[in-house]
Structure 1
Amino acid sequence: MSGSNYQETLEAVFGFDSFRPGQERIIKQVLAGNSALAVFPTGSGKSLCYQLPALMLDGLTIVISPLIALMKDQVDFLLGKGVKVARLDSTLSAAEARQVYSDVRAGSLKLLYVAPERISNERFFAAIEGHVISLMVIDEAHCISEWGHNFRPEYLKLAIAARALKVERVLALTATATPSVVEDIVREFEIQREAYVNTGFHRPNLHLEFSPTPEAERMGALQDRLNAIPVGPTVVYVTLQKTAEEVAAQLVADGFSARAYHAGMKSEQRAEIQDWFMASTEGIVVATIAFGMGIDKSDIRRVFHFNLPKTLENYSQEIGRAGRDGKPSHCEVLGSGEDLVVLENFIFGDTPTEESIRVFASFMLEQEDEFDISLYQLSQLTDIRPLVLSTLLTYLELEGVIEFTAPFYSEYKFKYLEPKSEVLAAFKGEPGEFLKRLLAQANEKKTWSYLNLDTAAKALGADRNRIVKAFNHLEEKGMLEVGVTGLRQGMRMLDRQPEIEVVRNLVEKVERNEAGNLERTRNVVELLNVEGCKTRFLLSYFGEELSEDCGHCGYCETETVVPVGRAAACLSDEERVVVERFEASKPGGVSTAREGARFLCGIASPKTSRSRANRSEFFGRLEKTPFEAVLNSLADTE
């Protein structure tokens, strides 16, 4: 492609007469047929790096993103530009999803946005395989790295899927990547060094302030800041959903225009709050980290951390949502050492017990050479949360014990949108006979019919993929509305290692993961405590060196530090009494010291949720007590 071609597209479609830093370098790599990695700060124009090439390349561009808000905003923007684009996510109706699949088959789409989990879904895979996929875009690419702050096991499968789909090139995007995370990304997607572009993290327009404040005084401090600092759209980040509700309610009572936002709300309510905030010139959103990802609002003037951020990666992303218009913006941390208890307790609580790991390993090693699992059922069996379980399964794959095959749904449910007789009459010859025999396998109810795919495939002597494609075709034609149930992950046993070795390796990995997460949280404390330029310290964490102090952070202006410390890992007399009473009653589903510590600190598990033991008076009684202190106290009594 010539430079004039993409310059013309930049102006004609996107209305820009020049590129932002790094954009043109990435676009040239992609148009030249190379896979690439763009590490750009939040709000610096990563989306143009694939939207523009997608319009110039033949075939389909698939954008993989976990951010539904980003999908919706970008699809709406591109549709407004006359681009044929669609998204597949959980908010679409059955009719809307059918239309998307129809457009994919027709080859009329230029871009398709999907969630990471969908790329290995057998229905989706069957719909897109064989089509020319000129570009696969991996948003939030740091999730592929085990060393990153937000490792997501499904991301590791994207490189495998890209090869299986014969994707011509991959573009990985992220706003936060330490040097070790970059190494993982370029290795997995075979990206050459010249196709890695990092524009740096320094944002001179952001004033970074650090004012650790005792929890009892924090609300007053926040109100003082809101009154003192020029008004503008504001985000206040908190750790817990209940904190978001409480702080927002207090701000409203004090006359501020504030709304709470967190993952516990219904999607419609979250969407309404996002729309309100986007249109507001002085609105305040009090939110957990669920808010902000993919929200493209350029005039956010203030970002407060009411609680300590989880990691420096989180902090960098969250302050990066301020001042995208280049104008001065205020970013201040009010959280203190008191917040470390909750942050660290969540980390400890995610670590499965050795007994749970042993149950998991035993179950896996007893399986046939080809098998499949239900993540939900295995979670109930092992008392390990599904997300953590996915990580353990990925560890087994990385160690060569198992290999993931395609995920699938054990059962299809469908209802006729046209009379069954007309559906059958529409197909002649062998296809018609196959369809007649296939539909005869279904268990027909009043509205919906149900079909077990494996049972049907065996009865018909047919390939399972043919059945999947048949249902896709019938749905595309508007003859059936199809739903799926019973998600199962296919597996293949590669190396049936001794159970004792598998358990030992997994225990080592989860302990290393726990230590890494604790270290990332303690890096936040180090940032607050460092006696030096805060901006310089933050940039060095991401491998970027600033030649001199920034001159505009809180330390550069005052040369003072309010130190942050950790709570002592010991119990008060009152807390010891709670532990003793808990030990005497032992709610159902709690048998080990770690399980007991999770229970007392208010961290639910599949076992306690199933037994409803978390309704006990003891559940969460010590949620503000260091997990280690509770664990050590319970271990002493075992």
Structure 2
Amino acid sequence: MSDINDARQILRQRFGLDEFRDGQSDVISRLLQGKNVAAVFPTGGGKSLCYQLPSQLLEGTTVIVSPLIALMKDQCDALQARGIGAARLDSSLSVAEFRDAMRGVRQGEIKMLYVAPERFFNERFIASVGSLKIDLFAIDEAHCISQWGHNFRPDYLKLAELAKRLSVGRILALTATATPAVLADIQQAFDIQDDDAIRTPFHRSNLQLRSCVVNSSEHYATLKSRIESRPRGATVVYVSLQKTAEEIAERLTEDGIDAVAYHAGLESEQRAEIQQEFLSSDNGIIVATIAFGMGIDKSNIRYVYHFNPPKSLEAYAQEIGRAGRDGVDSICEILLVPDDRIVLENFTYGDTPSRESVRRFIEILSGQADSFFVSHYRLSYDTDIRILVVRTLLTYLELDGYLEAIAPRYDSYKVKPLVTSKAILANFDGERRQFVAGVLGQLTKSRTWFTLNMVAASRQLNQPRERIVKAVDFMAEQGWLEVQVSDLVHGYRWTRRIDKPAEMADQFYDQLAQRESGEIERLDAVFEIARAMSCQSAALASHFGETAAGDCGRCSACLGEGPFEIPQLPLRNLGTAVLTALTGLRQKYPQHMDSARAQARFLCGLSSPQMTRARLTRNPYYGVCSHIPFEHVLKQVAALT
């Protein structure tokens, strides 16, 4: 068995480094002993090496689960440049690229496999990886597993069960932003002992945290003044909305300060080009939504400005953590406009469905058979609940012991033969040849593609669906077929039935409301730190369960610039024209405007699945109250009903 001395040798020979960073040897030595480990390192703290290096010492495959496609691509490119075999499996790959990656893994040429979480809903993928020997299962952004984290992803809760199904050798959970409560959730989910949860100090002394409170009319001028008055350096300006990114970048450029916008609405090629240009620049300025930065490895970012406030201290910590990775002094400043709170709050309120929608959700599920398949998107539309919340509610049912997830499947398989059936069958003999011939015989011809009905094929051939899927996938890997899948449905089995549906619906609605309150409290924490009442670095460290050695002496509070006053936002009443329009809309769309919450969401510009399908988002009154706090709109609408 390899030990930390072997790891140090690999560190020098394969990675060109002389020493481990803080915490890395503790994590790696435990993994080599076969333990499950959690690594809580600040952004830029060297988490990636904690799985990259052990992968070179372990016999089997290392699978890294990451939601960040940019990180996967960048890390794979960097590893391959060092002669280390790595591949990624995400939605951007072609069929041929996927086939080549899986072949490389099976032949032992590729030791590291980066996988996007959604791949684990692909029965073809599960069939492919199920035969691999996975010695290390690394989960990046592991805070997504916690319901109390800032970026809860219900699908992450299933990774622990998946690890058991795949009989992985050891687990590594990685995050840069775990409060004590979130770390406890991570440890419980992945069976990680306290001694094996490695946390390195959060505070980096070269980051100078600053803030100021300005009104809307001064907002842009303040940003421009900061950029012009400080020495030039690579700069990221974070904004909440795509249109804000475009507007600010354009204004800066018009004012003689070259800047470029970056957001998820741009084409992927354009984003990659902008990102690469910024990475190679010492003085570039990028105005970005949170779509920028995940997995970006640029050491000399000198300034991070939050033109709009982050939605949580966890998000803030990640975003400022991209500055000053080279250890040189860097400034991170929040330019706080109190009115911005309305936009961020309303985003939060937009995710919470009505109580009636949650009841409908429970009713639909209660009527399902003992085992059933359901489309999350269809369930989202039928209940008028956003897709992420649908997945959250299904996860609640799993956690509470009512449902057990079974393998998801695609209802539709389309197959295009690239060689003749005779050429395919020549590779098999005996029972296997007979079985493959039977599968090919189930193909129904259309124009270019053939359709394969998996349910009918399984019944006709008297073979388990999994074997047919595996056979189709094998033929695709060999280049004999091209396969397209669609209509993903998720499988569930009732482990116990719901006795009191109405009570459960109310309980789940209350849980969602509690999450909503938690998100508002996260926003409170951001505004509180921006007020600079006390050392901002110490306050941030405290949020993540650390005790600072003392005041930093370099933040706005320590420099005597604070504390700042944040004025109370004026509350505006709904006008007569809005109330008249709302009455007409309730009459015309009774099923979409059946609750005060639905009406308030419409007025604040917060869409729902049914609202979008009914094209209500194109109505001239949609979003007319987006500048008013949601709770205030809700109270006024509720008083009318």
TM-score of the superposition, structure 1-length normalised?
Answer: 0.97
Deviation at 1:120, TM superposition (A): 4.5
Matches of 1:367 and 1:149, distance apart in 2: 33
**Larger deviation, residues 37-46 vs 102-111:** 102-111
Deviation at 1:565, TM superposition (A): 4.2
The answer (yes or no) to whether the contact 1:129–1:165 under 8 Å persists in 2 is: yes
Q: Please give the per-residue CA displacement for 1:61-111, whole angstroms capped at 9, x wherever unaligned.
A: 000000011101110111111111110011111110111122233343210
Q: Please give the per-residue CA displacement for 1:465-510, whole angstroms capped at 9, x wherever unaligned.
A: 1001101110111100111111010001122112112212211111
Matches of 1:284 and 1:411, distance apart in 2: 46
Change (3 A) 1:579 1:571: farther
Identify the residue that residue 225 of structure 1 maps to in structure 2.
226
* 1:486-525 equivalence runs, <5 A: 486-497=487-498, 498-525=500-527
Identify the residue that residue 582 of structure 2 maps to in structure 1.
582
Deviation at 1:186, TM superposition (A): 0.8
Matches of 2:561 and 2:250, distance apart in 1: 35
Matches of 1:576 and 1:329, distance apart in 2: 51
Matches of 1:530 and 1:85, distance apart in 2: 45
The answer (yes or no) to whether the contact 1:531–1:559 under 8 Å persists in 2 is: no
The answer (yes or no) to whether the contact 2:219–2:337 under 8 Å persists in 1 is: no
Q: Please give the per-residue CA displacement for 1:406-447, whole angstroms capped at 9, x wherever unaligned.
A: 111112111111123322343333222222222222221221
State the percentage of identical aligned residues: 48
Identify the residue that residue 614 of structure 1 maps to in structure 2.
617
Matches of 2:598 and 2:510, distance apart in 1: 19
Identify the residue that residue 250 of structure 1 maps to in structure 2.
251
**Larger deviation, residues 145-154 vs 120-129:** 120-129
Change (3 A) 1:356 1:21: same
Identify the residue that residue 36 of structure 2 maps to in structure 1.
35
Matches of 1:405 and 1:566, distance apart in 2: 50
Q: What SS does structure 1 have at the residue aligned with 2:213? A: coil
Query: Match for 1:172: what amino acid?
Result: A
Identify the residue that residue 352 of structure 2 maps to in structure 1.
351
Matches of 1:94 and 1:110, distance apart in 2: 20
The answer (yes or no) to whether the contact 1:104–1:128 under 8 Å persists in 2 is: no
Matches of 1:583 and 1:424, distance apart in 2: 67
Deviation at 1:216, TM superposition (A): 2.1
Change (3 A) 1:364 1:85: same
Q: Please give the per-residue CA displacement for 1:115-139, whole angstroms capped at 9, x wherever unaligned.
A: 1222343211111113211100010
Matched, 1:48 2:87: no
Identify the residue that residue 634 of structure 1 maps to in structure 2.
637
Matches of 1:242 and 1:117, distance apart in 2: 29
Identify the residue that residue 600 of structure 2 maps to in structure 1.
597
The answer (yes or no) to whether the contact 1:64–1:138 under 8 Å persists in 2 is: yes
* 1:317-396 equivalence runs, <5 A: 317-396=318-397
Matches of 2:76 and 2:621, distance apart in 1: 48
Identify the residue that residue 151 of structure 1 maps to in structure 2.
152
The answer (yes or no) to whether the contact 1:567–1:626 under 8 Å persists in 2 is: no
Q: What SS does structure 2 have at the residue aligned with 1:56? A: coil
The answer (yes or no) to whether the contact 1:340–1:566 under 8 Å persists in 2 is: no
* 1:276-315 equivalence runs, <5 A: 276-315=277-316
The answer (yes or no) to whether the contact 1:105–1:128 under 8 Å persists in 2 is: no
Q: Please give the per-residue CA displacement for 1:277-332, whole angstroms capped at 9, x wherever unaligned.
A: 11122111111111101001111111000011100001011000000000011110
Identify the residue that residue 453 of structure 2 maps to in structure 1.
452
**Larger deviation, residues 278-287 vs 341-350:** 278-287
Query: Match for 1:322: what amino acid?
Result: A
For structure 2, the 5+ residue unaligned runs are none
* 1:430-469 equivalence runs, <5 A: 430-469=431-470
Deviation at 1:579, TM superposition (A): 3.3
The answer (yes or no) to whether the contact 1:105–1:127 under 8 Å persists in 2 is: no
Query: Match for 1:510: what amino acid?
Result: L
Matched, 1:184 2:185: yes
Identify the residue that residue 482 of structure 2 maps to in structure 1.
481
The answer (yes or no) to whether the contact 2:259–2:284 under 8 Å persists in 1 is: yes
Identify the residue that residue 103 of structure 1 maps to in structure 2.
104
The answer (yes or no) to whether the contact 1:134–1:169 under 8 Å persists in 2 is: yes
Matched, 1:548 2:550: yes
Deviation at 1:259, TM superposition (A): 1.4
Deviation at 1:598, TM superposition (A): 0.9
Matches of 1:452 and 1:598, distance apart in 2: 41
Matches of 1:286 and 1:579, distance apart in 2: 38
Deviation at 1:559, TM superposition (A): 4.9
Q: Please give the per-residue CA displacement for 1:216-248, whole angstroms capped at 9, x wherever unaligned.
A: 211111111110111111111111111111111
Q: Please give the per-residue CA displacement for 1:138-159, whole angstroms capped at 9, x wherever unaligned.
A: 1000000001000000100011
Identify the residue that residue 59 of structure 2 maps to in structure 1.
58
Deviation at 1:258, TM superposition (A): 1.3
Matches of 2:436 and 2:388, distance apart in 1: 38
Q: What SS does structure 2 have at the residue aligned with 1:136? A: strand
The answer (yes or no) to whether the contact 2:419–2:480 under 8 Å persists in 1 is: yes
Matches of 1:410 and 1:565, distance apart in 2: 55
Matches of 1:4 and 1:511, distance apart in 2: 51
Matches of 1:579 and 1:301, distance apart in 2: 49
Identify the residue that residue 140 of structure 1 maps to in structure 2.
141
The answer (yes or no) to whether the contact 2:4–2:25 under 8 Å persists in 1 is: no
Matches of 2:83 and 2:528, distance apart in 1: 49
TM-score of the superposition, structure 2-length normalised?
Answer: 0.97
Query: Match for 2:251: what amino acid?
Result: Q
Q: Please give the per-residue CA displacement for 1:236-281, whole angstroms capped at 9, x wherever unaligned.
A: 1111111111111111211222111112222222222211211122
**Larger deviation, residues 579-588 vs 132-141:** 579-588
Deviation at 1:561, TM superposition (A): 1.8
Q: Please give the per-residue CA displacement for 1:191-214, whole angstroms capped at 9, x wherever unaligned.
A: 111111111110110111111211
Matches of 1:2 and 1:632, distance apart in 2: 63
Q: What SS does structure 2 have at the residue aligned with 1:155? A: helix
Deviation at 1:25, TM superposition (A): 0.8
**Larger deviation, residues 579-588 vs 514-523:** 579-588
Deviation at 1:576, TM superposition (A): 5.4
Query: Match for 1:207: what amino acid?
Result: Q
Identify the residue that residue 82 of structure 1 maps to in structure 2.
83
Number of equivalences? 636
Query: Match for 1:516: what amino acid?
Result: G
Matches of 1:119 and 1:49, distance apart in 2: 23
Matched, 1:13 2:35: no
Identify the residue that residue 540 of structure 2 maps to in structure 1.
538
The answer (yes or no) to whether the contact 1:528–1:563 under 8 Å persists in 2 is: no
Matches of 2:424 and 2:266, distance apart in 1: 41
Q: What SS does structure 2 have at the residue aligned with 1:603? A: coil
